[in-house]
Amino acid sequence: MAIGVTTPTGNVGSELIRRLVQAGERPVALVRDPSRLGPDVATTVEARRGDLADIRYVTEALQGVDALYLVIPEVLDVDDPEADAEALAEAVIAAAEAARVGRIVFQSSLGAEQRTGAGFISALGRVEERLDALSARTGTRVCHLRCGYLFSNLLMDLDGLRRGELRNAIPEDTPLPWVAPTDVAAVACGRLLSTAWTGRVAQAVSGPEDLTFPQVAAIVADATGWPVTYSRDADADVRRGLADAGFSQAAVDSIAGMSEGIRDAYHAAERTAVATTPTSLVGWVRQHLPRGTG
Ligand SMILES: NC(=O)c1ccc[n+]([C@@H]2O[C@H](COP(=O)([O-])OP(=O)(O)OC[C@H]3O[C@@H](n4cnc5c(N)ncnc54)[C@H](OP(=O)(O)O)[C@@H]3O)[C@@H](O)[C@H]2O)c1
């Protein structure tokens, strides 16, 4: 059995590669630069080098792959991020169909069930629809992992966090399911290795507990010693800031739409035992954020 992994250098992909190697697999990494895979796994994966936007490359790279972990990179500094993401997804899905990949596990998001109104997350929802259509047409098994808010988002502005700034447009009293990338990888690894499931599945991956942004700020402050507090940005200010920074109107909608849409999606979400994963935010912070150097 060959398992293919897209974005194997990413937050989730890198953890997934490690878990598959630990399980005794030799995963096929679809990677732009194999040197970025890291020395500990470089000899235990089969790196097939190329860009996911290159359909000929993807078609060749998926030959012999039985199960695929699909991540659509979130490239936002382009004219139309959602159109680009959906075009890339369509091409990769066509390549997977041509290569007769039997199982596809897709890294989707909380809120993707909203096909509109949640920015880039809605584009992931439309990718889910394309995968569902593939499944209906060919019998390919597809599993959408609707991940919560990744802990690794805290790394996007590490300097700001060190100075004490945690900013977002999510209301202070809105809890979200925050989840560790390694927990998403663990669920993905199980789905990829198992042949017991069939059809089309959507599964939330929600972390151990729902947290508001002020709670997250307090956890980070306590674990790092950094003076972190949460400041909520108004939606209009976020949009204006992105436009001033040169983002296109479509990109502004894709980015701002995520925080605008996800707060409503949360209220519709249901926490279940299956969706709950173990890694705590405080444990992740201790591992990834250097205490006291702020
Ligand atoms: N952030 C969240 O809270 C959240 C929640 C739910 C779902 N999601 C979704 O999860 C996905 C991101 O997952 P992640 O955070 O694990 O990934 P990530 O760390 O953002 O990694 C993305 C990887 O994609 C690779 N890449 C970018 N463009 C590529 C291309 N054209 N061809 C091949 N590789 C390319 C990059 O690798 P190299 O630079 O090394 O080539 C990079 O390591 C997005 O679809 C996002 O919408 C995110």
Distance 177 CA to ligand 1 centre (A): 19
Indicate whether 227 pLDDT > 60: yes
Indicate whether 264 pLDDT > 80: no
Can you tell me which residue has the tokens 């912070």? 285
Residue 57 lies inside a defined structural domain of this protein: yes
pLDDT at 115: 84
Indicate whether 21 pLDDT > 70: yes
Residue 240 lies inside a defined structural domain of this protein: no
Distance 224 CA to ligand 1 centre (A): 26
- Cα separation, 238 vs 144, whole angstroms: 29
Residue 216 lies inside a defined structural domain of this protein: no
CATH number at residue 138: 3.40.50.720
Residues spanned by the domain of 201: 3-154+178-205
Type of residue at 260: E
Residue 103 lies inside a defined structural domain of this protein: yes
Q: Which atom of ligand 1 is nearest to the CA of 88?
A: 31
Contact between 98 and 140 under an 8 Å Cβ cutoff? The reply is no
Degrees to nearest 5, angle at CA 42 with 40 and 48: 155
Q: What is the pLDDT of residues 67-79, one digit of tens each?
A: 999 999 999 999 9
Contact between 275 and 213 under an 8 Å Cβ cutoff? The reply is no
Q: Which atom of ligand 1 is nearest to the CA of 51?
A: 32
- Cα separation, 116 vs 62, whole angstroms: 31
Identify the residues whose C-beta falls under 6 Å from ligand 1. Answer: 7, 9-13, 32-33, 36, 51-53, 71-75, 107, 109, 120, 124, 147, 149-150, 152-153, 181
Residue 291 lies inside a defined structural domain of this protein: no
- Cα separation, 96 vs 103, whole angstroms: 9
Residue 182 lies inside a defined structural domain of this protein: yes
Query: Closest residue (by CA) to atom 17 of ligand 1?
Result: 10
Residue 64 lies inside a defined structural domain of this protein: yes
Contact between 124 and 255 under an 8 Å Cβ cutoff? The reply is no
Mean pLDDT lowest for which of 36-50, 161-175, 188-202? 36-50
Number of domains in the chain: 1
Residue 190 lies inside a defined structural domain of this protein: yes
Strands 3-6 and 141-147, sheet pairing: unpaired
pLDDT at 263: 84
